[in-house]
Structure 1
Amino acid sequence: MHQPPTWAELIFAVAAVVVGVTAAVLIRVLVKRLNGRLPRSAWTRDDVFVNALRDLASSALVIGGAWFAATLLPLTGTVSKWTYRLLLSLLILLVALAVSRLVGSLVRTVLTKTGVASSASIFVNIARIAVLAVGMLILLQTMGVSITPLLTAMGVGGIAIALALQDTLANLFAGVHLLASRKLQPGNYIKLPDGHEGYVVDINWRNTTMRDLLDNMVIVPNAMISNSAVVNYDQPAKDLYMVVQARVTYDCDLATVERIIVAVGRDVLSSIDGGVADAEPVVRFHTFGDLGIEFSVIMQIEEYGDQFLIKHEFVKRLHERFRAEGIDIPHPMRGMDFLEREPLGTAAS
Structure 2
Amino acid sequence: MAYVRPAATFLAGFVLLLSIRHLLLRWVKRHAAAPTGFASIVSESIQFPSFLWAVVGALLIAIRFAPLTEKQLDLTEKAVIAFLIVSFSLATASFSAKMLAVFGDRQRMPMVVAGMTRTLTYVVVLSIGALTLLAYLKLSITPLLTALGVTGLAVALALQDTLANFFAGVHILVEDPISVGSFIRLSTGEEGTVTDIGWRTTRVLTGQNNTIVIPNTKITSSILTNYSLPDERVVVDIAILAGLDADPEQAMALMVDEAKKQHDVLLDPPPLAFFDPGATPTHLQFKLEVGTARRIGSGYLKSRLRVAILRRFREEGVPLPAVTVVAADSGAKH
TM-score (ref. length: structure 1): 0.84
What amino acid is aligned across from residue 282 of structure 1 in structure 2? L
1:114–1:297 CA distance, 2 compared to 1 (3 A) = closer
- The aligned counterpart of 2:300 is 309
Q: In structure 2, do the counterparts of structure 1 residues 307 and 51 end up closer, same or farther at CA, with 3 Å as the change threshold?
A: closer
**Equivalent residues of 2:32, 2:38 under 8 A apart:** no
Q: Is 1:155 the equivalent of 2:149? A: yes
Deviation at 1:118, TM superposition (A): 4.0
Residue matched to 2:57:
64
The answer to which of 220-229 and 141-150 deviates more is 141-150
- Runs (5+) with no aligned partner, structure 2: none
Cα distance, 1:18 vs. partner?
A: 2.7
Q: Does 1:293 align with 2:284?
A: yes
Q: Is the alpha carbon distance of 1:32 and 1:70 closer, same or farther for their aligned partners in structure 2, counting shifts above 3 Å? A: closer
Shift of 1:315: 1.0
Equivalent residues in 2 for 1:1-349 (5 A)?
Answer: 6=2, 10-11=4-5, 13-38=6-31, 40=33, 44-49=37-42, 51-52=44-45, 59-109=52-102, 111-112=104-105, 113=107, 115-140=109-134, 142=136, 146-268=140-262, 270=263, 274-276=264-266, 280-287=270-277, 288-331=279-322, 333-336=324-327
Distance 1:253 1:21, change over 3 A: same
Contact 2:187 2:224 in 1 (8 A): yes
Query: Is the radius of gyration larger for structure 1 or structure 2?
Result: 1
- Alpha-carbon deviation of 1:277? 5.8
| 8 Å CA contact 1:31, 1:54 repeated in 2 | no
Aligned CA-pair RMSD:
2.9
Structure 1: 5+ residue stretches without partners: 343-349
**Separation (CA, whole Å) in 1 of partners of 2:333 and 2:54:** 106
TM superposition score normalised by structure 2: 0.87
Counterpart contact for 1:199–1:210, Cα < 8 Å:
yes
Report deviation, 1:54.
7.0
Partner amino acid, structure 1, of 2:68: L
Using the alignment, how far apart are the partners of 2:7 and 2:332 within structure 1? 111
Count of aligned positions: 331
CA distance in 1, matches of 2:108, 2:148: 34
Q: Tell me the CA shift for residue 186 of structure 1.
A: 1.4
Distance 1:206 1:185 in 2: 15
How many Å separate the matches in 2 of 1:216 and 1:134?
39
Secondary structure of the residue aligned to 2:229 is: coil
Percent of paired sites with the same residue: 26
Helix, strand or coil: the match of 2:203?
strand
- SS of the residue corresponding to residue 275 of structure 2 reads strand
Moved more, 217-226 or 99-108: 99-108
AA of the residue aligned to 1:124: R
Q: Give 1:51 deviation, angstroms.
A: 4.9
